[in-house]
Amino acid sequence: MLNYLAFWGASVALNLTCNAQQFLSERPNAACCRGDGFDLELVEAVSSAVTIPVIASSGAGSPEHFQEVFEATGAAAALAAGIFHRREVSIEDVKTHMSASGIPTRTA
C-alpha cells in the first residue's frame, strides 16, 4: 500500500529541487565560491519572499562581505567555510569587524 504522505513529501521535494536547479542555472554570475561577496540581490529576494529565516551562504571573501549582507538584506545569518579552511580570513577577524560595525555578533 502506497504511503500517501511519503509520496507527497517526495513529490514536493523533487519539485522544489527541480525548480531551484532551474532558478539557479539562470544565474551564471552568482557569487558562489569566488570570494566576491554574497549574492546580495538573491539573498534579499529570498528573504523578502519567505517568512522563515534565511542564511546567506557562498561568496564571502572578506570580513566586509559579512557586514554587507546584513546591511543590504534581510538575512538572519551568514556563513562561510572556504575562506576559513584556506586561512584567508580568520573567524576572529570577521567577528571583530562585525562587532566594530555595530552588527550583533557572538563573540564566544
The DSSP line for 24-72 is: HHT-TT--TTTSS---HHHHHHHHHH-SS--EEES---SHHHHHHHHHH
This prediction has a pTM of: 0.72
User: What pLDDT is stored for residue 24 in this prediction?
Assistant: 60
pLDDT at 94 over 70: yes
Domain 31-108 belongs to what topology?
Answer: Rossmann fold (3.40.50)
For the beta carbon of residue 7, count every other beta carbon within 10 angstroms.
10
User: What pLDDT is stored for residue 1 in this prediction?
Assistant: 46
Burial class (CB in 10 A: 0-12, 13-18, 19+), 54: buried
User: What pLDDT is stored for residue 106 in this prediction?
Assistant: 87
Bridging pattern class, strands 55-57 and 77-79: parallel
Banded pLDDT at 35 (limits 50, 70, 90): confident
Q: Residues near 87 by Cβ (< 8 Å), separated by ≥ 6?
A: none
pLDDT at 103 over 70: yes
